[in-house]
C-alpha cells in the first residue's frame, strides 16, 4: 500500500518544492517508486511550475508518470498568485476532487509526495485552511499518510520533520519500514 508524504511549511516560498525534489531523489535512490502531486497551484501562467519540477524529478525513476504533463498531477491551477481561496474567484474548488486526484496518483507509486499550497494557514475554501485539509485527509486515511513538515529555514542537513516529531532521522525510519 502506497504511503503519502504531505509537504507543508509555515509559509509560502520557504522551500517546499525544493525539499520535495530532494525527498523524491532520496526515496527514488533507495529503490522506491515515487510519485508527486501539487493538488492546487496558484500563480500559474502557462504551466504550473511546481508541478513541473516535481514531475521532472519523478519521471527519472517512475515510468508510471512518464506520459504525464504537470496538469496531470494537479487538481486545480489558477493564474492569480495568491491563496487558493482568493485565486479561486469562481469558487470551483471541490475538496473531493483533490482527494480523488491524490488517491488516483497514489495507485501509481510506493510513495506519493504531495506538496501543499502556501503555508499551513492558507485558506482553500472559506474558513477551511490547508491545516484542516491535512487533518481531515489524515483522519480519513489514517494508515496511509505521514505528515511531513519541511522547514528549510532550519535547514541543517536534513530538515524533514516527519509525523510532527522533531527527529531528522525519521526519513531513514520511513525508508526502513518500507524494507
Ligand X SMILES: Nc1ncnc2c1ncn2[C@@H]1O[C@H](COP(=O)(O)OP(=O)(O)OP(=O)(O)O)[C@@H](O)[C@H]1O
* Cβ closest to ligand X, residue 33 vs residue 38: 38
- As a whole number of angstroms, the distance between CA 122 and CA 84 comes to 8
Q: Which stretch binds ligand X (CB under 6 A): 10-18, 28-36, 61-69, 89-97?
A: 10-18
- As a whole number of angstroms, the distance between CA 84 and CA 129 comes to 10
* Cβ closest to ligand X, residue 70 vs residue 177: 70
By CB under 5 A, name the one of 8, 17, 28, 74 that touches Mg ion: 17
Residue 39: all three cell numbers together:
493538488
Q: Which stretch binds ligand X (CB under 6 A): 16-24, 27-35, 72-80, 88-96?
A: 16-24
* 24 neighbors 115 (Cβ within 8 angstroms): no
How far out from the chain centre does Cα 176 lie? Answer: 21
CB of 54 to ligand X, least distance (A): 10
**Contact flag: residue 16 with Mg ion (CB under 5 A):** yes
Residue 45: all three cell numbers together:
501562467
Q: Which stretch binds ligand X (CB under 6 A): 6-14, 26-34, 91-99, 126-134?
A: 6-14
* Cβ closest to ligand X, residue 12 vs residue 168: 12
Residue 167: all three cell numbers together:
527527529
- Length of the chain, please? 179
CB of 53 to ligand X, least distance (A): 8
Return the SS3 of 81.
coil
Residue 123: all three cell numbers together:
485558506
CB of 126 to Mg ion, least distance (A): 24
**Contact flag: residue 149 with ligand X (CB under 6 A):** no
**Contact flag: residue 41 with Mg ion (CB under 5 A):** no
Q: Among all residues, which ones are annotated catalytic?
A: 38
DSSP for residue 152: G
Amino acid at each position: 500500500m502506497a504511503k503519502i508524504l504531505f509537504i507543508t511549511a509555515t509559509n509560502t516560498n520557504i522551500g517546499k518544492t525544493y525539499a520535495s525534489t530532494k525527498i523524491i531523489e532520496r526515496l527514488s535512490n533507495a529503490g522506491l517508486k515515487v510519485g508527486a502531486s501539487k493538488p492546487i497551484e496558484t500563480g500559474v501562467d502557462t504551466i504550473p511550475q511546481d508541478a513541473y519540477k516535481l514531475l521532472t524529478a519523478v519521471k527519472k525513476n517512475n515510468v508510471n508518470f512518464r506520459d504525464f504533463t504537470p496538469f496531470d498531477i494537479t487538481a486545480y491551477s489558477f493564474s492569480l498568485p495568491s491563496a487558493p481561496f482568493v485565486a479561486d474567484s469562481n469558487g470551483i474548488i471541490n475538496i473531493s476532487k483533490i482527494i480523488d486526484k491524490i488517491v488516483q496518483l497514489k495507485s501509481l507509486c510506493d510513495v506519493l509526495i504531495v506538496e501543499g499550497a502556501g503555508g499551513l494557514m492558507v485558506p482553500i475554501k472559506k474558513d477551511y485552511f490547508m491545516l484542516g485539509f491535512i487533518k481531515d485527509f489524515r483522519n480519513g486515511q489514517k494508515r496511509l499518510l505521514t505528515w511531513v513538515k519541511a522547514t528549510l529555514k532550519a535547514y541543517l542537513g536534513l530538515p524533514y520533520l516527519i509525523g510532527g516529531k522533531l527527529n531528522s532521522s525519521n526519513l531513514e525510519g520511513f525508508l526502513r519500514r518500507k524494507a
